[in-house]
Amino acid sequence: MNAAQIKVLVIDDEPPIRKLLRMGLSTQGYDILEASNGKIALEKLADGPALIILDLGLPDIQGHDLLRMIRGRNESVPIVVLSSRGDEAGKVQALDLGADDYLTKPFGMDELLARMRAALRHQLQVQGERPLFRAGDLSVDLVRRIVKVGERDVKLSPKEYELLRVLVQHAGKVLTHRFLLKELWDELTDAQYLRVYVRQLRQKIEADPERPQFVLTETGIGYRLRAPD
Ranges 4-18, 85-99, 127-141, 149-163, most confident = 149-163
> Which carries the bigger pLDDT value, residue 67 or residue 131?
67
Check: CB of residue 212 under 8 Å from CB of residue 218. no
pLDDT higher than threshold 80 for residue 229: no
pLDDT score of 131? 72
- pTM as predicted: 0.76
Q: What percent of the chain shows pLDDT beyond 90? A: 67
Angle at which helices 15-26 and 109-127 cross, to 10°: 70
- Alpha-carbon gap, residue 10 to 53, rounded angstroms: 5
pLDDT higher than threshold 60 for residue 3: no
Query: Residue 5's pLDDT band (boundaries 50, 70, 90)?
Result: low
- Alpha-carbon gap, residue 177 to 218, rounded angstroms: 10
Q: Which sign, positive or negative, has the C-alpha torsion 68, 69, 75, 77?
A: negative
pLDDT higher than threshold 70 for residue 79: yes
Tell how far CA 1 is from the center of its chain.
18
Cα–Cα distance list, 54 to 6, 36, 45, 124, 217 (Å): 16, 10, 13, 21, 23
